[in-house]
Every structure is written in structure tokens, then in C-alpha cells.
Amino acid sequence: MLRELHRIWRNPRYFILMTLGVVFTFVFFATVTREGQPTKLSVAVVDMDGSYLSRRICHEMEATQGVSVKAVYNNHSEARKAMQRGEIFAFYEIPKGTYNDLLQFRSPHFVLYVNSAYMLAGTLSYKQLATMGMLATGAVQREVYRKKGYKDEQIMGLIQPVEYDTRNIGNPWINYGNYLMTTLIPAVIAFIVLMHTSYIISRERQEKTLKNWLSRANGNPFYALIGKMLPYTVWYVFLCLLANLIMFGFMGFPLEGSWMLMVLNSILLIFAAQSAGCFIAGSIPDPPLAMGISAIYSAMSFSLSGFSFPVESMPTFLYSFAWLYPIRHYYQNFCDIAIFGNGFSHCWPRFCALLAFGVLIVAGALMMQWQVNREKRLAVQQYKRDAV
Amino acid sequence: MINTLKDIWTVFSIEVRRVFGDRMVLLIFFLAPLLYPFIFCFIYHNENVENMSIAVVDEAQCEESKRFIHKLDATPELTVSYRCSNLGEARWLMDNHDVRSVFYFPKDFSSRLAELRTARVVVFSDMSSFYFYKAALTGGNAVLIDEMHQIEMERYERAGLGNEEAQIQMQPVVMENSTLFNPTGGYGSFFLPCLMMLVIHQTLFLGICILSGDARENRKSLKLIPPHLRRGSIHRVTFGRSLCYLIIYVPICILDLWFIPRWFNLPQLGNLYTILIFLLPFILAVIFFGMAVGNLVVRQKISPMLCFVFFSLVLFFITGMVWPQESLPRFWLLFSYLFPSTPGVQGYVKISSMGAQLSEVRTEYMVLWIQAAVYFAVATLTLGIQTFIRRRQNILTHNLRRVRFEGVGVLTENPLAETDRTNETITKTETKTL
């Protein structure tokens, strides 16, 4: 361990770089998702009617917070081209003769086109415009009822017989910052930990200082690995906790359950990621190959953790594959602790799973021992051959 | 002209041998871009959450609530798997993740309906993944609208209005929706095109960085450049190398960006010709970007893997596909245009998912050419400066040796040992200066 500290001290470049990487990612997501949801999305209107009513609709669209009307087009193809250029995310098409139809009690048809190739922008602008459409319809109905002499309260009951009262557990404001950061930041940290672990082991091989390293641990690769990991464990656990503290403490994201469990969760995540790194780098003797495999393995952790798209909806064989990723267990624990406020009784299987990753350190150590022994054997054979 | 071509050919053949002689680069150039698209296409094969299990708590026990629950069960998104007698039970199910959403019908549901007041359904949804929320919302809204119409229809019928009249009263304006370019609104159709472009961007970029890191670490960057090109014609080296990468990546791009989307039924409206024309500056920009970064910062063979892979996430986020570009803070927007992935992903998605022509992606196309030109200049300059420094050092070493040997006058017994030692000291000083 002292040797590793000395190594960090001598060449702190990558250590600092990785820390900066974590900080950079944190700052990036914090600043980008500051508003919670993107606002003022560009939308447009294709106004073929050109009447008082269609103008009024434009104004009402402009007045909603989520969207802003970028342009008014005269025909469908212009709007479609603008959409293909990515200038607008949605547009309302108001057909010719709408106002007349309305006056003569022939229901006119409005068409709302949404570009859903952009997931978030499409969904949000759809939500805003569809709500506005409903309200506009409601406003017309209300006028009719008012003229018939109903009271406002009764009118609401008539226009909207049933409504939803939504309670969003764990993220009441539908804040994307809350949703993304609480899982993405630990995922990035786990990713960096894994890569860094396999990097420092590979580096020993590359610099041919493996023997020196092992001899410092009396030739026992298990102790050698543990000693090497320890400074990084402490540092990354500190970073992870700091990130959690900022998110749940200062940024005010809700944390239902206990802090202690969250701390335990973070520690185990770092531990498991390090174990996986030890195993990969310990068992593959070719350093570049080890790095490549670690990268290929961990690049999929973001998808298979299941917070962007639920793992339950993926094909079944991938469902079991997701268990190979520490971040998956962390994420499930996180849901239990932060969102539902469940206690240890719910989390313990996943804690055990994360602990079980520790077996990988032993496996990695055994593989390294085997390699060292083989090298020795080969050297002895070579020596004998030379002697003969 | 012929000389130029000859030189480019020489550099090209050296580079091909390097690429195919390195296991790590092979892994990144060939395995990753061939493997990832398939894996990710499988992962996101089911585009939406289907038959998400929900619980209902029906305290109203009336005709309308029963009908409502039946309709919820009938939506493709939701399945009513538990009927609870109180909220506590439902909460327990939710805590155990047996259900992702709870629909609660309070006692006054039917009485409110009868009194012509707005009745309320309380929906609790699990926000751990937005897809659970989205499924509950889509399924629930469809039922809500349908149910509202039915209730209103019944009321109008009781009031003695005809079917058509009631329809007009209820819906003075008919709203139609049409989702373009991603008809199912699924995650896969949105995510996979971006992912393919990012995979190509990252693998190509990393591979080039690794190659230049390898050359630096093993001190062969000078050897790789033919002697007569070291002085003034360094741009031919850049050209030759990029030609090698270009030839490797064009088939990979065609496979990843044209064939795989067809096989997995992703939206694909563009034609191959447009895509290829658009991809040319993209690949070039990535190549020169990789070379520039490789020459500037990479010193080891394996460090690029450590430093740049996690960056993919940030790159994906600033492309503007997730978070709209206009909502990005100004600084990040400018920052995003440092990378060829931003205009690349935007342009490719517009061409392939939305069927845009080149004229519609004019901006992106121009930006890519500008990036390619700028990074070409940077890559060539840095390579030139480095070669210059190396050559200076080599000449210095040479002179130093001569001075030593001549100054001492007599050669030591083993001249080889002496030179080796000087070599070592010089490489050490070199590392320090670098």
C-alpha cells in the first residue's frame, strides 16, 4: 500500500485526471439539468385558416411555459422541411375553414404532428400541446355552458367528469436532473473505478515491475492486490459520498431511507467495481487486451443498469446478464433506499451480491499466482535447456 | 503528383501493417463496432414497456370504476395484476416492486359522478425509471379520455340529444395526433441511430489515439515516417494514414448505419448515397480529430482507454438528441461543437430517421468539413513540430556522441556499452522534456 501511495505521488497525472473526470461529469450534468426540464421548445403552426381563432391559438401556445412558437407556415411541406432541419419539434395544423366549421357546428379537425425521433423534446412538446388542445376544446365547451346559465363549478364537472390526481413517488417535480444524476454519477464513478483498477494493474505488467510489486507483499498476490486497491478505495468512496452528499443534501433530491444504507451502498459499489477490475486485469496477461476487455465490458453498464430503459422489458437472457454489473445492484438498492425508503430487510440480497464480487479478487489473485508460477517454471526449463 | 501518390502509398502500407499487427487496435476497430450494434439492438428490441403490472384499490365499487379498471387492463401498456382492499396493501406491493403503479378510486368516486362534479382517480407511480411513469401515463390517459367520452355521451343521451349532436357538443374541435419518424415512440428507434454513430466515433477515435500512444511509448514515431517526408511533406503522412482508416471504416459504417437498421426494423428513410456523402466528412473529421488529440496529449498506449471511454456518456448527452440543443447552456453548446459527434449524430438522425436530404442538413455538413479542415491542420502541425523536435534531438545525440568519442580520443574497450548508456541518459532527458 505504501508502495502504491509512493507510485501515485511520483506520477499523479492519471490519478488527478480521473478525479477531474468525476468532477467534470458531475458539473456537466448539474449545469445542464439545472432547470429540471427543458423549456421553451420550438414549435410551429401551419395556419391555413388565417382567422381570428387560429391567431388566438398561436397566442395561447406562446403563453405556455414549455413551448415557444418559432414560426407560422402556410403549408404542410414547409413545416415538414423545418422539422427535418431540426428547427421545430412539433406543429399544429389548422385546416382551411376551421372558424366557419366551428360556427356552423361541424367539428373541425386539428392535427398535431410531433417529431418523436427526439425522445425528450418530442414527448414534452407533445404533452404541452396536447394539454393545450384539450384546454382549448374545454374553453369552447365552457363558453357554451356559460351561455346556458351553468355555474363554473358545475361546468368543470360537466366538461371533465373524471380526472387524475398523480402522485409521483420519488420525484414529484418530474425533475430530469434528479432522475439522471442520482444514478448516472455513481455509474460514471463505478466505470472510472473499474477502468482505473485495471489500468494500474496493467501498468505494472507493462513496466515489468510485477515481480517487485509481488515481492513487497511477500509473494502473495492477494495481499498485493488488496494493498494496491486500498488507497483508491478510500479516495473513490470519498468522491462517491461527496457526490451523494451534494445531490441529496445541497441540491435537495429526495432521500427517503437512511443515510447509513446509502453510505454502505456506495462503499460496496466501489468495492465491487474494483473486484471486477482486479479479475479482468489479473487474469489477462496482455495489458492492452485487458484494457480493451474492461472497456467493452463496462461500456454496457449504463444500459444494463436499467435506469434508462427497464431491464425487465429487455429479452430474458439479457435480464440475467445484468446481474454481472455492480451498478445494477447499486441502482436497485438506490430505488429501495431513496425512493421507497425501504430498510435493510429489502436491500440485503443485493448487498450480498455486491459483496460476492469480492470473490473475483481471489480469482484474480489465483490467476496471477498461476501466471507467475508458470513463468518461473518456464524460466527454470529454459535455464536447464541452456545448461544442457 | 506521382511522387505524392507514391509517398501516400508508402505511409498507407506502413499504417495498414501497424493496424493489423496490433491486437488491441483490431479489437477496437473491428470487434467493438461489429459487436455493439447487435447487442444494443437486442437490448432495445422491445421498444416500450408492455404489460406493466399495476394494482388497483377500488373503494368506490361502482359500475364506472369497474368499467375503468377493465379498460386499464385492456391497454397494451398495463396489466391489472392485483386488486387490493386498501392503500396499505398496495403500498406494500409497491415497496416490493411487484407493481409499478397504483390506481386508487376513492369512496366518493360514484357520488361525485352522480352529482356532476369532477370525480378523482389518484395515481401513484414509481419514478425510478421514466418508462414506468410513461407507461402508466400513456395507458391511463387513453382510458381516461375514452371514459370521459362515454360518461358525457350517456349524459347527453339522457338529456335527449342524438348521437351526432352529442358528439359535437362534446368535441367542438377534434384533435388528431400523428407522431412522425418514430411511430411507436419507442426507446430503441430513438436511441440506436445515435448509438451507432457514437460507437463509430468513439472506436475510430480511440483506435487512432492508441496507435499514436503506442508509437510514442515505444519511441518509434520517427521510424514510422519515411525519411524523405520528415522535413516538408508531413501532410502526406497525415493523408496516407487517414486513407488507411477511411478504407477500414467505410465498410463498417455501411454495415452499422445501413444494414443493421434494416435488419432490426429501425426507422430508415434516407438512401445509402446521401448517407455515404454525409459520412465522408464525418469520418475524416473524426480521423483528424483523433490524430490531433493523439499527437497532443496521448503518451501511453493504454491510457486513452482510461481517459476517453467514460466520456462517451457526456458526448451522447451534448449531441442534442436527449437534451434539446437550444436548452443547453451556451457554454456547453459551444463545447459540443468541438466534437465531430455532435453534427455527425444530428445529421445522420435527420437523414436516416427523418428522411432529410443533404440540403436540409447543410449546416451539419458544413460544420463537419470545417472540423475536418481545422483538425487536419492541427494534426499536421503537431506531427510536424514533433518530428522536428525528435530530429533535433537525434542530431544533438549524434553530435554529443561524436564529441565524446573524439574528445576522449581513445575508444573504450566496449564502444557499444558506451553508446547504449548515452542512449539511455538521452531518452531519460527526452522523457523529462516531453
pLDDT > 80? residue B222: no
> Which residues in chain B are contacts of A335 at CB distance < 8 A?
97, 126, 128
Q: Are A231 and A8 in contact (CB under 8 A)?
A: yes
Q: Alpha carbon A61 to chain centroid distance?
A: 31
pLDDT of residue B406: 60
Percent of chain A with pLDDT over 90: 3
- Asked if B301's CB is within 8 angstroms of A161's CB, the reply is no
Q: Are A289 and B27 in contact (CB under 8 A)?
A: yes
First and final C-alpha spacing in chain B:
36
Query: Dihedrals φ, ψ of B209, to 5°?
Result: -60, -40
Q: Does A168 touch chain B (CB under 8 A)?
A: yes
Beta-bridge mates of residue A113: A91, B178
Q: What is the CATH architecture assignment of A41-159?
A: 3-Layer(aba) Sandwich (3.40)
- Asked if B121's CB is within 8 angstroms of A165's CB, the reply is yes
CA distances from A285 to A45, A246, A374, B265, B396 (A): 62, 40, 12, 41, 38
**Comparison of pLDDT for B126 and B176, the residue scoring more:** B126
pLDDT of residue B172: 66
> Which residues in chain A are contacts of B121 at CB distance < 8 A?
162-165
**How far is residue B291's CA from residue B299's CA, in Å, rounded to a whole number?**
13
Mark B332-351 as b/e (b = at least 16 C-beta within 10 Å).
Answer: beeebeebbbbbbbbbbbbb
Per-residue pLDDT, averaged over B382-397, amounts to: 83
| Confidence bin at B366 (pLDDT 50/70/90) | very high
Residue A165 three-state SS: strand
Per-residue pLDDT, averaged over B140-155, amounts to: 84
- Asked if B130's CB is within 8 angstroms of A179's CB, the reply is yes
What is the per-residue pLDDT across B123-139, written as a single tens digit (0 to 9) for each?
A: 998 888 888 888 888 88
**How far is residue A300's CA from residue A309's CA, in Å, rounded to a whole number?**
13
| HEC profile of chain B | CHHHHHHHHHHHHHHHHHHHHCHHHHHHHHHHHHHHHHHHHHHCCCCCCCCEEEEEEECCCCHHHHHHHHHHHHCCCEEEEEEECCHHHHHHHHHCCCCCEEEEECCCHHHHHHCCCCEEEEEEEECCCHHHHHHHHHHHHHHHHHHHHHHHHHHHHHHCCCHHHHHHHHCCCEEEEEEECCCCCCHHHHHHHHHHHHHHHHHHHHHHHHHHHHHHHCCCCCCCCCHHHCCCCHHHHHHHHHHHHHHHHHHHHHHHHHHHHHHCCCCCCCCHHHHHHHHHHHHHHHHHHHHHHHHHHCCCCCHHHHHHCCHHHHHHHHCCCCCCHHHCCHHHHHHHCCCCHHHHHHHHHHHHCCCCCCCCCHHHHHHHHHHHHHHHHHHHHHHHHHHHHHHHHHHHHHHHHHHHHHHHCCCCCCHHHHHHHHHHHHHHHHHHHC
**How far is residue B184's CA from residue B167's CA, in Å, rounded to a whole number?**
29
pLDDT of residue A1: 62
pLDDT of residue B213: 85
- Asked if B181's CB is within 8 angstroms of A38's CB, the reply is no
Amino acid identity, position B399: N
pLDDT of residue B231: 66
Torsion from C-alpha of A30, A35, A38, A40, nearest 10 degrees = -140
Beta-bridge mates of residue B175: A110
Distance from CA of B198 to the nearest CA of A (A): 12
Q: Is 0.80 surpassed by the pTM of this model?
A: yes
Per-residue pLDDT, averaged over B274-281, amounts to: 91
**How far is residue A351's CA from residue B13's CA, in Å, rounded to a whole number?**
53
**How far is residue B252's CA from residue B285's CA, in Å, rounded to a whole number?**
16
Cβ-based neighbour number of residue B226 at 10 Å: 16
- Say what the ipTM of the complex is: 0.84
Q: Are A221 and A282 in contact (CB under 8 A)?
A: yes
CA-angle at A330, arms to A290 and B134, nearest 5°: 115
Find the closest chain A residue to B124 by CA distance: A167
pLDDT of residue A273: 92
What is the per-residue pLDDT across B47-97, written as a single tens digit (0 to 9) for each?
A: 778 888 999 999 888 888 899 999 999 988 899 999 998 888 888 888 888
- Asked if A202's CB is within 8 angstroms of B175's CB, the reply is no
What is the per-residue pLDDT across B311-364, written as a single tens digit (0 to 9) for each?
A: 888 888 888 888 888 788 888 888 888 999 999 998 998 888 888 888 888 889
> Which residues in chain A are contacts of B197 at CB distance < 8 A?
none
pLDDT of residue B420: 45
pLDDT > 60? residue B431: no
pLDDT of residue B55: 92
**How far is residue B279's CA from residue B269's CA, in Å, rounded to a whole number?**
16
Beta-bridge mates of residue B82: B55
Amino acid identity, position B283: I
pLDDT of residue B230: 66
Residue A135 three-state SS: helix
pLDDT > 60? residue B426: no
pLDDT of residue B373: 93
Residues of chain A with confidence (pLDDT) below 70: 1-2, 4, 10
Distance from CA of B111 to the nearest CA of A (A): 12
**Which of A216-223's residues contact partners 24+ apart within 8 Å by CB, and which partners?**
A216/A3, A220/A365, A221/A282, A221/A364, A221/A365, A221/A366, A221/A368, A221/A369, A221/A372, A222/A361, A222/A362, A222/A365
Which residue among B127, B171, B179 places its CB closest to the CB of A116?
B179
Report the CATH superfamily, name and number, of domain B52-170.
abc type-2 transporter like domain (3.40.1710.10)
Which residue among A14, A162, A191 places its CB closest to the CB of B144?
A162
pLDDT > 50? residue B424: no
Residue A96 three-state SS: coil
Beta-bridge mates of residue B58: B105
Beta-bridge mates of residue A164: B121
Please give the DSSP secondary-structure letter assigned to residue A208.
T
pLDDT > 90? residue B374: yes
Please give the DSSP secondary-structure letter assigned to residue A67.
E
Q: Where are the domains of chain B?
A: 2-44+186-389, 52-170, 392-433
Q: Are B320 and B327 in contact (CB under 8 A)?
A: no
- Asked if B147's CB is within 8 angstroms of A162's CB, the reply is yes
What the block records as the C-alpha cell of A72 is 407560422
Q: Are A171 and A179 in contact (CB under 8 A)?
A: yes
> Which residues in chain B are contacts of A18 at CB distance < 8 A?
306
Q: Are A129 and A67 in contact (CB under 8 A)?
A: yes
Q: Best of B57, B98, B112, B130 to disrupt the A interface by mutation (most A CBs within 10 Å)? A: B130
pLDDT of residue B432: 46
